[in-house]
């Protein structure tokens, strides 16, 4: 199977609409309860899902907490950062 090349002019548009991952990274500052509450409020996780993500972040160092187009993830990532959490979009 041949790989399809993406020309530079298509990268921006494709990266905005293509599904991306919002990743939460571990830190030694925030409590489990704060992380769980933030995931519920910002990412609209169910409590059980938020708790599972917090445990994965704690044990593995990071966890994909949401997959969606960049435009949807960017405000969530900013809000998590505003709360002192470390989140990136890949």
How far apart CA 18 and CA 34 sit, in angstroms, is 30
How far apart CA 79 and CA 72 sit, in angstroms, is 12
Digit-coded pLDDT (tens) for 1-21: 433 333 344 445 555 678 999
For the chain, list the domains and their CATH numbers. 18-89 (3.30.1390.10)
**Which pLDDT score is estimated for 13?**
53
Digit-coded pLDDT (tens) for 33-84: 999 999 999 999 999 999 999 999 999 999 999 999 999 999 999 999 999 9
**Which pLDDT score is estimated for 4?**
38
Nearest partner of 35 among 67, 9, 26, judged by Cα: 26
Residue 27 has pLDDT above 60, yes or no: yes
**Which pLDDT score is estimated for 74?**
97
**Which pLDDT score is estimated for 90?**
95
**Which pLDDT score is estimated for 17?**
74
Q: Is the dihedral of CA 55, 35, 37, 75 positive or negative?
A: negative
């Amino acid at each position: 199977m041949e790989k399809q090349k993406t020309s530079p002019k298509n990268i921006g548009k494709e990266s905005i609409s293509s599904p991306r991952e919002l990743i939460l990274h571990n830190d030694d500052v925030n409590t489990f309860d704060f992380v769980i509450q933030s995931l519920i409020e910002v990412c609209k996780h169910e409590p059980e899902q938020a708790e599972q993500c917090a445990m994965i972040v704690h044990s593995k160092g990071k966890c994909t907490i949401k997959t969606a187009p960049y435009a949807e993830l960017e405000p969530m990532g900013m809000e998590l950062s505003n709360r002192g959490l470390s989140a990136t979009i890949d």
